Structure 1
Amino acid sequence: MGQVDHSFAAASESVAVHALAKACELVVVVRLVNMSAIALAYGEPVAQRLRVDLASKAAAMADVLGAAAWSGEDLEMVIADADGFREKLDCVGANDLVLAHEVERRLRGRFFADQNQEVIPCLVTIARDIESEDDADEVLDAARRLAFTRQPDIPDLSRDRQAVAQYRRDMAAAVLAVELAANGGLALLWQPVASLDRSADEDEVLYWEGLTRLVDSNGQMCLPSSFIPALERLGLVRVLDAYNVSQTLSRLERDPSLTLGCNISAQSVLLDGWWAEIISRLQSDRTLAQRLVLEITESASFPGISLAVDFVDHFRRLGCRIAIDDFGVGHAAFRYIAALQPDIVKIDALFLRRAASGDSAQDHAAFKYLVGLAGSYAAVVVVEGIEHEAAAAVARDAGAIWGQGYHFGQPSRCLIGRQMPTTPLMPPVSARGGFGQGDLLRAI
């Protein structure tokens, strides 16, 4: 199967947009990342219908204020009256990130490849104001480049038919997951990250991690393995991550005594419009940020070191804590850990299981080394997969202070254990700054 030709985009429209850009105040570039994939999986006419649908919505937004046209995989909007455009979109005073998200929200809508199969477009939207001293063409070109660099990796369907079949299965799973999340079907089950110290009468909890579940129409809970991989392969997991973090913030707002963590995919670790609402809520109430731990899971690759560092720095400046989940088995090399400077590193349960089996002294030594290595990168090390006291003893022997697993509580809608008395979880630190184990111990 060969590459798809999208030359049906009218060249005259692109030229018109290019000419208008010289006199405009705002440019918006919307990249349809999965355009070729949709054409290969569902047919070229479906891809063309999607382009027409998106262009029609963009033209309605621009109206008399500007113009919109396709240029390859990019839907480009040039706006002559930036203030009027923001007013029309109810974004008066909004920054570029918020405006881009609102444009993307209005472009989205239910689109069907046929009467049975819904398709979700994977969009990357960049909005940039043009100041009087700016060259409009250069701003437009910069927006195009930024949209390109921020697009997630998606499967190459031109290689074989099995890839096409997998894409269609993934899309069906993604559509169901997004629909459930949008209609109240997202559930968070809480599991404590607890002290390994046995001197306390009850488990002392550093924070509770929210484990994502989707509840279907029959009331059955779906495990993440049934939908997260599909969303990551399609480049759409950020949609679910935004719902996940938003729900966690709502729980924090209801109970100011809690410190909570929630998972986000490494693929979502870049500042885009999907984070605009989350950032606004955290800016409005910094105590929420101080009680929020963002746990980055490594089941997908990061978008790039510089983008990931910008994301982590931004949320750390707001007061959030950053954790790297499943350390030792994920996509991220140690260079990402060193660059991101996480506050918390969580060691994947695989290493504890091997060390606790007692079959190999080498496994035990490797686990102890990994705990020490993680401690050199972060102030807090959490050992995952502690199912019983014997495993907890192995973790303590390796030098770990914190653990997580069924030994401390199964994932539950209830929060089990005693929150550490001092919140926020750790004292605020400046972006890119750090603190040692002694600082942490003084904080708690």
Structure 2
Amino acid sequence: MGKQRPAGPDKVKFALEAAGQALFEFDHASGQITWTDVKSAMSILGIDTPETISASQSLLSFMQPEEVMSRENALRNAFENRTSYTIEYRVSTGRHPMRWIEERGSWMKIAGDWRLIGMIRTIDEQKNREARLSYLAAYDEQTGLLNRPRIRELLKDEIDQASQPTGVSAYLLVGIDRLGGINSDFGFEAADEVIVEISRRLRSKLPTQHTIGRVAGTKFGIILRGACRDSIRNTCYSLLNVVREKVIETNSGGVAVSVCIGATELENDVTTAETAMARAEAALDKARQIGQSSWSSFSENTDIVSRRQRNTEMSDVILTALNERRIFIAYQPIISEPGAPHRKFECLVRMEDPDGEEVSAPAFIPAAERLGLVHLLDRRVLDLATQTLRKAPDIKLNVNISWETVKDPVWADGYLAQLRANREVTDRLTIELTETQVMDAVESSVEFIAEIKELGCRFAIDDFGAGYTSFRNLQALDIDVLKIDGSFITGVSSSRENQLFVRTLLDLARNFGMKTVAEWVDNESDALLLKGLGVDYLQGYYIGKPERYPPAIYGDRADAAGTKAGKTLSA
């Protein structure tokens, strides 16, 4: 027979102790504090003697002076307005580490006297988690440098102050040469060590007034302040030399490395951080054309002209493909169990070149986003998807939409209008946005998601786990499906770290009532393990490769349609 639970006041004491909380009563007239459980209060506050926590003044002496004043104001306001209060403060006894306390309470009239009835608990874990998330919002975890969003913010601030003597004079983009070859020759761990060491070397050569951050996997952004043209050139040479002068020792052996640098001066026509970053990128491209360990400065006469030419050419390619109906969908199956029939697919946009060859999305989507044409591709994919849903009434489809379309009110309205015109099939349609895109502007995302769901669509976050999503944002977004980033799925059956991460994401999804999809499933072992862990759906080459004419949609016509594809383009 188990132990009997405490009853009455002892039951309250037992519950509070189990929850790491302590209840107290404060008599303002005498300044005395009475605790329901003195030992729990001592443990929470990190105080060794019970006498210390029975007097209000003694207890306040362990708090930070500014927080004592804030607490007094909160108590006074609660008394005057007859409301409850919640405050947070730090306590330290000297012999114990500083700890964070949350206090809640309200005033009550007992036997004619006003007494404060309150409760305290430790919130160190919560504060540490908040500090961690705050750090990740501004810093790159691997190198400890500022991340791209933070560099962009600082660059914007400095550009706004460019007329002042301390304003920005230049922005540098440093790219590691042939890191892919290092990955291939030495392994990913060695490549990671190279990235960290290069970041350390670059930082060591920069005076404190300059700022460095990691703005991409193999690139670092540097804000130079108060530098003349000669000093910009000298800084570039110094950075090139400090990287290449010594071999980087890794666990896989010594690796000789170099970098290229693109520089742009912050002149009067540079009014945004995006312009500065784009010019530095163009200058870096030019430096790489020169060769390894080279640098180049942005030139309006050369780089901008060539970029305009490239943009014009790619714009013509995309628009011609749209006009000639050479944009099509490759359907990749999403299934609930290995071997299950294919009834659900993700629509992957493809282009057919004039010779009939298939062109994958990475070859033209980035250019379409840069040129403001991606909304046309989004609309075309949606049009093709709704045609397929009408043709195959037992099929469900997922379509991706770009953030460029969502954030532009005109383009977003056009997309929503197209959904309204196809209300009879929207209940079989799931719209996908990547996690990093959604979290960059949660408020805009919430509005768009609400509108597509009103039209009957479901909403999925793609590449989940690649960014840093808060619980508050997950609640706000009304997500139906989380698609776990493929980097955590590949080889999951042999990686305990990835298994732990996937379990955590699955628990998170269950708590919010969301379905889960594991992408990049490329072998039976991974598929079986993922289903064992509780993943709802599987997607990847093991399940099925993307096909233009899958039999589940086109039936007996699939083979004929595939043969005909090179001769007659689908509408």
- C-alpha deviations, 1:225-283, integer Å up to 9, x for none? 11112223444422221211122112223333322111112332236333445433433
The 1:188/1:331 distance shift into structure 2, 3 A limit, reads farther
- Count of residue pairs brought into register by the alignment: 263
Aligned residue type for 2:405? S
Query: Of 438, 442, 448, which aligns to 1:305?
Result: 442
Alignment of 1:227-376 (within 5 A): 227-270=364-407, 272-298=409-435, 304-329=441-466, 336-356=473-493, 358=494, 360-376=495-511
Alpha carbons 2:490, 2:522 under 8 Å: kept: no
Query: Of 379, 382, 396, which aligns to 2:531?
Result: 396
Aligned to 1:68: none
Query: Of 350, 354, 368, which aligns to 1:213?
Result: 350
Task: Work out the CA distance in 2 between the residues paired with 1:298 and 1:154.
Answer: 25
Considering only CA atoms, is the larger Rg found in Structure 1 or Structure 2? 2
Alignment of 1:33-432 (within 5 A): 156-157=277-278, 159=280, 161-162=282-283, 164=303, 167-168=307-308, 169-170=310-311, 172-196=313-337, 202-205=339-342, 207-270=344-407, 272-298=409-435, 304-329=441-466, 336-356=473-493, 358=494, 360-415=495-550
Report the secondary structure of 2:385's partner residue: helix
Task: Work out the CA distance in 1 between the residues paired with 2:423 and 2:282.
Answer: 50
Name the Cα RMSD after superposition: 3.2
Q: What's the CA shift for 1:284?
A: 4.0
Task: Work out the CA distance in 2 between the residues paired with 1:170 and 1:331.
Answer: 33
Report the secondary structure of 2:401's partner residue: strand
Task: Work out the CA distance in 2 between the residues paired with 1:179 and 1:331.
Answer: 39
More divergent stretch after superposition (165-174 vs 364-373): 165-174
Aligned residue type for 2:477? L
Alpha carbons 1:193, 1:208 under 8 Å: kept: yes
Task: Work out the CA distance in 2 between the residues paired with 1:242 and 1:331.
Answer: 29
Alpha carbons 1:322, 1:342 under 8 Å: kept: yes
- Structure 1 unmatched runs, 5+: 1-152, 419-444
Alpha carbons 2:343, 2:552 under 8 Å: kept: no
The 1:313/1:218 distance shift into structure 2, 3 A limit, reads same
Under a length normalisation based on structure 1, what TM-score does the superposition of the two structures give? 0.52
Q: What's the CA shift for 1:158?
A: 5.1
Report the secondary structure of 1:217's partner residue: coil
Task: Work out the CA distance in 2 between the residues paired with 1:345 and 1:211.
Answer: 18
Aligned residue type for 1:263? N
- C-alpha deviations, 1:57-92, integer Å up to 9, x for none? xxxxxxxxxxxxxxxxxxxxxxxxxxxxxxxxxxxx
- Structure 2 unmatched runs, 5+: 1-273, 285-302, 554-571
